Chains A and B, each alone.
Chain A
Amino acid sequence: MGTSDFAPDKIWADLQQAAGVQFTVTLEPFFVNITVTPDDLVPILKVLQNRLGMNYLANITSVDYGAEFEIIYHLYAIPDNSRKLKVKTRVPRSAAQLDSVFPLYPTADWQEREIFDLMGIRFNAHPNLVRVLLPDDFKGHPLRKDFGKEEQ
């Protein structure tokens, strides 16, 4: 249900043109997957929000892949639920930062703080990027795979 009739090539071509950037689209059983570069993330989310009505950013999460971190955004439209989007981007471990999506989706506020807190990824222009679950003087980011293994 949903995903196949939702992804005709034309819609995506129009979206790419509107956003002025390229992105890769793949169909998965439960989601339409969009992979972007970190710089293109905010322009693309803006287009998805305005043109496709993706008004609900359900979840943001991050994965440690060693040399890179992946940040995943799960987007839906309320009340129409036929569109299920997953936007993915990767940042290098050595420069773990990308733009905050808070101006588009205020729900990103604490979710980005959580990723900063536990995974150590910085979100540029976030209004209040401080730890949310761990104490302020905590050292390190526990969800990183090398947490507790490296010499501090």
Chain B
Amino acid sequence: MLKTDQYTINIGPQHPSTHGGLHAEALMDGEIVKDVVVHLGYVHRSVEKIAESRTYTQFIPYASRLDYLASHLPCLGYVQAVEKLLGVEVPERAEYIRVILAELSRIASHMIFVGSLAIDLAATTGLVYCLRDRERIMDLFEMSSGQRLIAAYMRIGGLSADLPEEFFPAAQSFLTDIPRMIEEYNGLITGNEILQARCKGVGVLTAEMALAYGVTGPNLRASGVAYDLRKADPYGIYDRFEFDLPTGKAGDGLDRLIVRLKEIEQSGHIVRQALSQMPEGEIRSKVPKLLKPAPGKEVYHRIESSKGELGFYLLSDGSEKPARLHVRAPSFINLMVLPLISRGGRLQDIITNIATLDPVLGESDR
């Protein structure tokens, strides 16, 4: 046997494939990965500490900056946690609009996933197609909140404003085009021989490993576990919609891609139902300007974000500011399996694995 020296290769933090400040230190034996050490914290902003010096309402814009690729989702999780803490009811119309924006956020996030996977594997054109389509969601967000990327549109007890009239035809036309978009991605990206070679059988995550390490979201479903909080523990009005849970079998990079492509279609299906069922009415219930939950009250609220279980733990000391806020960030916990699924593979597989685990570092580092 030929002997090779062991050496380390740093991937990131300054590297286009690291999705924003991820530093993976690969211990190599020749071209085979022995181990990966993940270094986090390059985007740490101490969000949980900041929350202790902000009122409950003031924290909303910080929440949207956790997952900046799907900003309505962390916002939704946070405001629902506060609503649970206070026992606030949300008007029907607001609930529907929340679902519409949450699912559009999920689609936008998955489109970034597909596009960034393509560009990480050197298929530059793929990214352009995904960004082109995602742009239409950004336009919808701009119509609704004035913000494209990091909207603070949710409010405790509802929303900051109603949707404008031009939102609805634009949303309908986007939904109509989803099948065509998916077809294009499949032709250009999923069906590409090189991409398949780089993803098939790469970064296999078994269902047992995923559960043990608390991996959730599309990554868990790609490993064959049909678990989604929108069905398993419905929050808001998610129990009113019909949709399927796409799952994979192999738990490899390709399954993680295919599951997300199917989820784009399912999310579109939910938005279509929400648009047709949405009633007229108020978009915000009456809540005091300054919120003071009962002292000692705590809540752990979780939603299915585009990355997995996004949880908020809130503890009140009776003042207008939370005594403690903790964010259970799916990106942080999903990244824990990166070394496990990369060992024994090749250096280039680490790039596939980072891309297909889909971490967003603003959320994992907090």
Chain A interface (Cβ within 8 Å of chain B)?
30-31, 55-59, 61, 63-64, 72, 74, 78-79, 81, 86, 105-107, 109-111, 114, 118, 131-135, 142-143, 147
Contacts and interface: CB of A to CB of B under 8 A. Distances in A.
B299 A30 contact: yes
A56 B315 contact: no
B300 A31 contact: yes
Nearest to B87: A29
A143 B365 CA distance: 15
A147 B48 CA distance: 13
A130 B213 CA distance: 18
Given A81-B233, A106-B212, A135-B41, 15 more contacts: A30-B299, A31-B300, A58-B302, A58-B309, A63-B315, A74-B300, A74-B311, A78-B211, A105-B214, A106-B336, A107-B212, A107-B214, A110-B332, A131-B41, A134-B41
Contact of B324 (A30, A58, A63, A135): A63
A55 to B, nearest CB: 6
B44 to A, nearest CB: 5
Contacts of B333: 107, 110-111
Contacts of B232: 78-79, 81
Instruction: Please report whether the interface of chain B is mostly helix, strand, loop or mixed according to DSSP.
Output: mixed
Contacts of A142: 46, 49
Contacts of B233: 81
B53 to A, nearest CB: 12
B326 A59 contact: yes
Contact of A118 (B40, B48, B227): B48
Interface centre among A30, A57, A61, A111 (most CB of B within 10 A): A61
B318 to A, nearest CB: 14
Contacts of A64: 324
Given A63-B324, A79-B227, A107-B213, A133 B300 contact: no
B328 interface: yes
Interface in B288-340: 299-300, 302, 309, 311, 313, 315, 323-324, 326, 328, 332-333, 335-336
Interface of B: 40-41, 44, 46, 48-49, 84, 211-214, 225-227, 232-233, 299-300, 302, 309, 311, 313, 315, 323-324, 326, 328, 332-333, 335-336, 365-366
Contacts of A74: 300, 311, 313, 328
Contacts of A78: 211, 225, 227, 232
B250 to A, nearest CB: 20
Q: Which 4 A-B pairs have the closest CB atoms?
A: A107-B214, A61-B326, A59-B328, A133-B41
